[in-house]
Homo-oligomer: A and B are copies of this chain.
Amino acid sequence: MKCRRCKKEAEVELRSHNAAFCRDCFLLFFYNQLNKAIKQFRMFTKKQRILLAVSGGKDSMSLWLALVELGYDVTALFVDLGISGFSELARKKVVAFSERFNAPLRVVDLKEEGIPIPEVVKKLKRPACAVCGRIKRYYFNMEGLRGGFDVLATGHNLDDETSRLFSNVLHWKMEYLEDQAPVLPDEDGLLRKVKPFFRLTEFEIAAYAFFKGIDYLTSGCPFSKGATFSSYKRHLNRIEYESPATKIDFYQGFLKNLRPLLKKKAKEELHHCRVCGYPTFGDVCFVCRLKGFE
């Protein structure tokens, strides 16, 4: 197979783009897709300060490098969940990346905060991923606001977004569909959120990480069964295989045709947490309550 652009031997075949690329031309394609997403949704400019949520996995690490290489003002935030045998390794990869590429990194350590995930999960007896997600969101927003960042970026890719969309559509979860987009505006004192990788698939990001020699964490969190939307990803991949470009069409079609019909319901009024100032329905926010404030 030949590279579509330069006719050299191709290394990557992309059926959804009806193309194959050599390594160099794939990287051009990759940055092109990323730029297209950033520009199309006016995610951020080079003058703005981006806080990037990094986990140590391929998506967030790849986005980190790509934003650095494209010259954006990006600072990574790693939340050390305090899960032994997992968090240490993730943290090591993230710190090593930061040193190798001389890229700014902030770390929040949930042990130091007094709420490591294993203890919280044991105490609350609720699904680990839901609780953990809520705590991470808290720190991403708080660090972003305190640090004067303009926008919070995450590494969600096309497979994440379409499998979530698929699940929300199969069960017509209208309130979740309202919240699904590559850009969520700032509201209730929370940071603006963007997903610059929404046009790129897991496969494309893995190829990028491989070509760039990024050393990322491949093991999954022991608390998640790794099952989040994974069966929907499998089904969508089968459909994509039969009809290339279905995933991106499904997602873009949703943004164009359905999303404008969904009117955001008026939310309950939010207060600010008496302890930390974070938006909350009650008097004290979820994280401060976990920390023992009443």
A positions within 8 Å CB-CB of B: 169-172, 174, 231, 235, 238-239, 242, 246, 249-250, 253-254, 256-258, 261-262
Contacts and interface: CB of A to CB of B under 8 A. Distances in A.
Given A235-B238, A235-B239, A238-B235, A171 B250 contact: yes
Contacts of A246: 170
A256 B231 CA distance: 25
Nearest to A247: B170
A172 B242 contact: no
A259 to B, nearest CB: 10
Contacts of A257: 172, 174
Nearest to A231: B242
A250 B235 CA distance: 16
B170 A250 contact: yes
A165 to B, nearest CB: 10
The copy count of this chain in the complex is: 2
Contacts of A238: 235
Contacts of A258: 172, 258
Nearest to A242: B231
Nearest to A169: B169
A231 B242 CA distance: 9
A257 B174 CA distance: 7
A242 B264 CA distance: 32
A172 B239 contact: no
A169 B236 CA distance: 13
6 contacts: A169-B169, A170-B249, A172-B256, A231-B239, A235-B235, A235-B239
A238 B169 CA distance: 17
Contact of A239 (B170, B242, B250): B170
Given A169-B169, A172-B256, 13 more contacts: A170-B239, A170-B246, A170-B249, A171-B249, A171-B250, A172-B254, A174-B257, A231-B239, A231-B242, A235-B238, A235-B239, A258-B258, A261-B261
A242 to B, nearest CB: 6
Given A235-B235, A242-B231, A172 B261 contact: no
Contacts of A235: 235, 238-239
A250 B169 CA distance: 8
A180 to B, nearest CB: 14
Question: Which of A170, A235, A262 neighbours the largest number of chain B CB atoms within 10 Å of its CB?
Answer: A170
A258 B169 CA distance: 10
A238 B171 CA distance: 16
Contacts of A254: 172
Contacts of A174: 257
